[in-house]
């Protein structure tokens, strides 16, 4: 029986993969045979993760790019194709959350930055890769959204709004790209132990309040989110598109 999770021969581009959920995902996809492209804004950080993956016996390259820059994303995709081959798996993980506070006090500059990276960046890269996948035999796109996209978190208004947009974007791309052989799904992480979530996790009062709503009563780890991405990117999910998979310790249940 063939291994439905075997990604051998597939090129997987993972954005925001120099740390956190992105790094854990890159490592797991590589462990299952994919040639992983580690990408984030800083080349040195990408190089470190890619080298570690290769040392562990996996295939990995490092290409830095800014998620919110269209020209940078086009250059990224072109470079991946030239160096590794057609992209078969795209994981949109890079995101930003520069503002933590009352939604009505959101600075418009921070609003623009969050929209640019979390919505425009995901959309731009998805569109570019979906068309290329259509022409090269299909593929899978996995968006990292958030439980905040279903239930907005206090003091994280604009971030929550962008993640709700990612969920709808996933459904729209999933519906319109299905006939191309391109599947598009999203993972909705709950509270996860990353530097991204450190503002909340490091505040005991806020953390205790959040944990009271999580049936498993603990913070998740990046390595617990990555398997959901592996599933959606693999042939095990060959009849799955336009859906979301919450990995949240039961928060949304």
Nearest Cα neighbor of 235 from 26, 34, 17, 92 is 34
Across the range 128-137, mean pLDDT stands at 98
pLDDT at residue 44 in the model? 97
- Give me the phi and psi of 150, to 5 degrees please: -100, -45
pLDDT at residue 197 in the model? 77
pLDDT at residue 187 in the model? 98
- 202 pLDDT band, cuts 50/70/90, is confident
pLDDT at residue 9 in the model? 96
Its pTM surpasses 0.75? yes
pLDDT at residue 199 in the model? 74
Q: Note if 159 is an active site residue.
A: yes
137-188 tens-digit pLDDT? 999 999 999 999 999 998 999 999 999 999 999 999 999 999 999 999 999 9
| Set 32, 159, 231, 239: catalytic member | 159
pLDDT at residue 108 in the model? 96
Structure tokens that stand for 238 in this block? 């060959």
pLDDT at residue 200 in the model? 74
Q: Distance between the two ends of the chain, CA-based, in angstroms?
A: 35
Q: What percent of the chain has pLDDT over 70?
A: 100
Q: Kindly tell me if the per-residue pLDDT of 205 is higher than 80.
A: no
Structure tokens that stand for 190 in this block? 């709950």
What the chain holds in terms of domains, given with CATH numbers, is: 11-247 (3.40.50.720)
pLDDT at residue 1 in the model? 58
If you average pLDDT over every residue of the chain, what do you get?
A: 95
């Amino acid at each position: 029986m063939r291994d439905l999770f075997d990604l051998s021969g597939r090129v997987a581009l993972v954005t925001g993969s120099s740390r956190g959920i992105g790094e854990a995902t890159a490592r797991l996809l590589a462990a299952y045979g994919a040639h992983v492209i580690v990408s984030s804004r800083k080349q040195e950080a990408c190089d470190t993760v890619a080298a570690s993956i290769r040392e562990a016996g996996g295939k990995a390259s490092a290409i830095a790019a800014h998620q919110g820059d269209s020209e940078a994303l086009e250059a990224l995709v072109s470079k991946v194709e030239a160096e590794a081959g057609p992209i078969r798996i795209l994981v949109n993980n890079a995101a930003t959350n520069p503002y933590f506070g009352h939604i009505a006090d959101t600075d418009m500059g921070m609003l623009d930055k969050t929209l640019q990276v979390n919505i425009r960046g995901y959309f731009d890269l998805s569109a570019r890769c979906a068309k290329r996948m259509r022409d090269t035999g299909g593929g899978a796109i996995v968006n990292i959204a958030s439980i905040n996209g279903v239930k907005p978190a206090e003091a994280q208004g604009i971030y929550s709004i962008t993640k709700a947009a990612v969920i709808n974007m996933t459904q729209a791309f999933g519906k319109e790209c299905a006939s191309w052989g391109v599947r598009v799904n999203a993972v909705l992480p709950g509270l996860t132990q990353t530097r991204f979530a450190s503002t909340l996790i490091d505040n005991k009062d806020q953390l205790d309040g959040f944990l009271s709503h999580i049936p498993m009563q603990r913070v998740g780890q990046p390595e617990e989110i990555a398997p959901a991405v592996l599933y959606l990117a693999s042939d095990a999910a060959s009849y799955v598109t336009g859906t979301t998979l919450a990995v949240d310790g039961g928060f949304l249940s």
